[in-house]
Amino acid sequence: MKSYILYALLIFTLAFQACKKEGPDFTPLASLNVANAVIGGRNIKLNTNTRDSATTYGYKLFQLLTGETPIKLFPSNNPGTPYYEQTNTIVNGGIYSLFLAGTASVPEGIFVKDEIPPFSQDSILRVRMVNCSLNSAPLFLTVGSAPAINIFSNATYKTVSAFSEIELKSRLAVGGNVFQVRNSSGAVLATYTLPATGTISVASSRFKCITLVIRGSYGTTSGSDSFGIYAMANY
C-alpha cells in the first residue's frame, strides 16, 4: 500500500510538471503613448518597428518590453539622428507617455509614467495639458462655457499637468466642449473643439482621459508649425 501511494505521488508530480511546461509563456509588456510635437519634424518610429509611426503633430500607442528598456524614437527618413534615445526602467503593465518637443535639430523629450485615474461612473472627462510649444509664455486653459475659470494655470514649456475633471453631460452647455488656450492677459491663443464623433469625441471620451498637447512655435500664427492644440487619447 505504501509503495502504491509513493508511485501515485510520483505520477502526479511528473504530470503536474509536464502541465507547467506546456502552459503558455507570457511576455511582460507595457504601453507607451508617444505625442510627436517636434517643430519641423517628421513622422517617427520606435526602435526596430518598421510599420507603425507617430505622425507629426499626432500620436501613436506602442508596446514596450519590461525591464531596463532602450527607447529610440527617430524620424522615419533618418534613423541615425533620433529625437529621443534613452534607457528607461519599464514595469510590467505600466502605462507611459512620451511627449516630443523642441525642434528637429534640437529635440527634447518628456517621459512620464502615467497614473491614470480609476474609471468614473459620472458623466465627466478627465483632461490634462502638456505644453510642447517651444519658448512659450505661461499658458492657461479654460472651457468655452466657463471662460473665467482656469482649468490649468501658468503652464510653462514642458509642463505636464495632472488630470482634472470637467462635466461632459449628454446635454452640454454652449461651449462646454471647446477648450481655450489663453495667455496671462486672458487673450485666446488657440482652441480645440471636442468633436461629436471619432476616437476622441464627446461620446467616446465620456468617463475617460485625454491629453491636450500644446504644439508649434509660440507666436507663430500661420504655416504647418503654427501655435495650436491637439488631443491625445489615454484610457
- Model pLDDT for residues 60-91, shown as the tens digit of each residue: 999 999 999 999 999 998 999 999 999 999 99
pLDDT, greater one: 25 or 153: 153
**Which pLDDT belongs to residue 117?**
85
Sign of the dihedral through C-alpha 153, 157, 159, 165: positive
**pLDDT for 190-208, tens place per residue?**
999 999 999 899 999 998 9
CA-CA distance, 224 to 213, in Å (whole number)? 15
Phi, psi of 217 (to 5 degrees): -90, 125
The reported pTM is: 0.87
State the span(s) of the chain assigned CATH 2.60.40.2890: 27-114
**Which pLDDT belongs to residue 151?**
97
27-114 CATH: 2.60.40.2890
pLDDT, greater one: 178 or 118: 178
pLDDT, greater one: 6 or 34: 34
Which CATH class name applies to 117-235?
mainly beta
Cβ contact 231:201 at 8 Å: no
* 3-class SS of residue 2: helix
